[in-house]
């Protein structure tokens, strides 16, 4: 070992010297002006990028309007925004509407509750991302947080006024649909994936295959339509289930089919010897699955699970089409206010920023996790 190390040191030192010798100038030349073709690309793209950045800076900051005067009746006077249209952004629309977009029609004085709910969700994501918490206790943390979310949103105890789900809206709805969707779809998906892999139970296998392929073959919107239009027909007369709950059920059923395929990938990646060794030890099916197979298989599929979750986070915006008040719908509601009607670009950019913030953080996390897991597996 010592030999190898001593051999390596001078080599590394030489490499470092070489790296230091490569000056910034030559690096720029290699990466931007390597050939005439590369130079042409750099110049053309550089011109477009500079123009774009300057135009965006001018529109978004220099000429932007951040607030507008309000008339005596409290109606915004957007004349200056109208005049600046096309020249400068009207961020005043976000200043005026951000509470509506973020929290919907939740009672104004009580909006600290959905704000805490949003923070709870973010905390939950961070805790779930830390590998120190990848233990059985994580399930308890999820149950606790989701219970707290429900309690805070509904209220009706300890002096908190009751707020029915008809008044929920905005970012909490988006987070609730995505997170509860994952929380309930995940156990279901594990069962479906196990069912699809079971050789001893052909009837169960057929059921699972049909379920997964059926759901994956149709768009989410058709499942949401089913929840909003057909679901009332399925229920006994007189039983009315809230629209939010119906959409949530649809998202759970939809997500479970996709997650089941992810989990199945993990089950397939596990060497057969693990299951055989467990059988040889005399473990029952459930012992084998719970203590040997799943802990290893699920660990393998955490990065694709995060990616699937990002997909569902974005897909919750589809509830706009069946008229639920998620973040996206609230953006459209904000735009239906006559004085602000024509400033949709600004509102859409605001919404996009929120989605990008969540999705970008998660995708970066999933990528770094993938690198770590690959490294630890010695690939």
Partner 1 sequence: MSPATADPRLIAVRRAPKRRMRLSWSDPVCRAIVWQVVIVGIVAAIAWYLIDNTAKNLAQRHIATGFAFLDRVAGIPIGESLIPYNPAVSTYGRALLIGVLNTLQVAAIGIVLATILGTLIGIGRLSKNWLLSKLTAFYVEVLRDIPLLLQLLFWYTILQGLPAPRQALHIGKAFFLTNRGMRVPLLDWQPAHSWALLAFAIGAAGTLVWRKHATRQQEATGRRPASWPVAAGLLIGVPVAVWAVLGAPFALVLPVLKGFNFQGGGTVSPEYFALLVGLVTYTASYIAEIVRSGIQAIPKGQWEAAEALGLRPGEVLRQIVLPQALRVIIPPMTSQYLNLTKNSSLAIAIGFQDVVSIANTTLNQTGQAIEGIAYIMAVYLTISLSISLFMNWYNARIALVER
Give the span between the Cα atoms of 309 and 262, in whole angstroms. 11
Residue closer to partner 1 by CB (options 81, 146) is: 81
Residue closer to partner 1 by CB (options 138, 188) is: 188
Residue 33 CB contacts under 8 Å (≥ 6 apart), including other chains: 39, 42
Residue closer to partner 1 by CB (options 99, 332) is: 332
> What letters, b where the CB count within 10 A reaches 16 and e where it falls short, cover 221-242?
eebbeebbeebeeeeeeeeeee
List binders of partner 1 among 91-150 (CB under 8 A).
none
Give the span between the Cα atoms of 232 and 244, in whole angstroms. 13
Residue closer to partner 1 by CB (options 68, 318) is: 318
Phi, psi of 70 (to 5 degrees): -110, 140
Residue closer to partner 1 by CB (options 279, 372) is: 279
Question: Are the C-beta atoms of residues 311 and 262 closer than 8 Å to each other?
Answer: no
Residue closer to partner 1 by CB (options 145, 248) is: 248
List binders of partner 1 among 348-377 (CB under 8 A).
348, 351-352, 355-356, 359-360, 363
- Measured between alpha carbons, how far is residue 161 from residues 13, 102, 110, 145 in Å? 68, 20, 8, 20
Question: Are the C-beta atoms of residues 134 and 294 closer than 8 Å to each other?
Answer: no
Question: Are the C-beta atoms of residues 216 and 261 closer than 8 Å to each other?
Answer: yes
Residue 313 Cβ vs partner 1, minimum distance, rounded to whole Å: 8
How many residues bind partner 1 (CB under 8 A)? The answer is 53
Residue 335 Cβ vs partner 1, minimum distance, rounded to whole Å: 9
Residue 119 Cβ vs partner 1, minimum distance, rounded to whole Å: 21
- To the nearest 10°, the Cα dihedral for 299, 304, 308, 311? 140
Residue 326 Cβ vs partner 1, minimum distance, rounded to whole Å: 10
- DSSP class of residue 288 equals I
For 15, counting Cβ atoms within 10 Å of its Cβ (0-12 exposed, 13-18 middle, 19+ buried), the class is exposed
Give the span between the Cα atoms of 243 and 249, in whole angstroms. 10
Residue closer to partner 1 by CB (options 185, 192) is: 192
The residue from 137, 237, 272, 336 that contacts partner 1 (CB under 8 A) is 237
Specify the stretch interacting with partner 1 by CB under 8 A; choose among 98-106, 112-120, 148-156, 216-224.
216-224
The residue from 60, 129, 344, 370 that contacts partner 1 (CB under 8 A) is 344
Residue 293 Cβ vs partner 1, minimum distance, rounded to whole Å: 18
The residue from 53, 61, 214, 269 that contacts partner 1 (CB under 8 A) is 214
- Measured between alpha carbons, how far is residue 369 from residues 143, 166, 302 in Å? 24, 39, 8
List binders of partner 1 among 10-69 (CB under 8 A).
30-32, 34, 38, 41-42, 45-46, 49
The residue from 249, 314, 337, 365 that contacts partner 1 (CB under 8 A) is 314
Q: Is 135 left (phi over 0), alpha (psi -120 to 50) or beta?
A: beta
Residue closer to partner 1 by CB (options 186, 211) is: 211
Site for partner 1 contains 234 (CB under 8 A): yes
The residue from 201, 269, 281, 290 that contacts partner 1 (CB under 8 A) is 201
List binders of partner 1 among 141-200 (CB under 8 A).
200
Give the Cβ contact number of residue 338 at 10 Å.
9
| Two structure tokens written together for 202 | 């052909």
Residue 124 Cβ vs partner 1, minimum distance, rounded to whole Å: 20
Residues binding partner 1 (CB under 8 A): 30-32, 34, 38, 41-42, 45-46, 49, 200-204, 207, 214, 216-222, 225-226, 229-230, 232-237, 310, 314-315, 317-318, 320-321, 328, 332, 344-345, 348, 351-352, 355-356, 359-360, 363
């Amino acid at each position: 070992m010592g030999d190898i190390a001593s051999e390596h040191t001078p080599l590394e030192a030489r490499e470092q010297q070489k790296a230091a010798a490569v000056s910034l100038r030559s690096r720029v030349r290699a990466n931007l002006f390597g050939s005439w073709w590369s130079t042409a690309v750099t110049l053309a793209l550089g011109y477009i990028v500079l123009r774009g950045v300057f135009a965006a800076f001018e529109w978004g900051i220099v000429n932007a309007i951040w607030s507008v005067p309000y008339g005596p009746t409290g109606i915004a006077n957007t004349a200056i925004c109208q005049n600046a249209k096309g020249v400068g952004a009207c961020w005043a629309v976000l200043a005026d509407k951000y509470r509506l977009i973020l929290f919907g029609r939740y009672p104004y004085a009580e909006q600290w509750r959905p704000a805490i709910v949003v923070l709870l969700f973010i905390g939950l994501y961070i805790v779930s991302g830390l590998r120190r918490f990848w233990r059985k206790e994580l399930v308890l943390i999820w149950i606790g947080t989701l219970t707290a979310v429900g309690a805070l949103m509904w209220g009706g105890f300890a002096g908190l006024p009751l707020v029915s789900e008809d008044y929920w809206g905005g970012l909490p709805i988006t987070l609730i649909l995505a997170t509860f969707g994952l929380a309930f779809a995940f156990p279901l998906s594990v069962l479906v994936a196990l069912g699809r892999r079971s050789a001893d139970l052909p009837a169960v296998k057929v059921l699972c295959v049909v379920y997964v392929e059926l759901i994956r073959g149709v768009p989410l919107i058709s499942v949401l339509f089913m929840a909003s239009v057909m679901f009332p027909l399925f229920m006994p007369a007189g039983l009315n289930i809230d629209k939010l709950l119906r959409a949530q059920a649809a998202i759970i059923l939809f997500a479970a089919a996709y997650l089941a395929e992810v989990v199945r990938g993990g089950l397939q990646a596990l060497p057969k010897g693990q299951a055989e060794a467990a059988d040889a030890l005399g473990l029952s099916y459930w012992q084998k699955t719970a203590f040997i197979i799943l802990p290893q298989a699920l660990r393998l599929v955490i990065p694709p699970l995060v990616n699937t979750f990002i997909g569902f986070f974005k897909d919750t915006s589809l509830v706009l089409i069946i008229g639920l008040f998620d973040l996206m719908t609230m953006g459209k509601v904000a735009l239906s206010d006559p004085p602000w009607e024509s400033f949709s670009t600004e509102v859409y950019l605001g919404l996009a920023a929120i989605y990008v913030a969540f999705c970008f953080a998660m995708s970066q996390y999933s990528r770094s996790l993938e690198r770590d897991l690959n490294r630890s597996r010695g690939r």
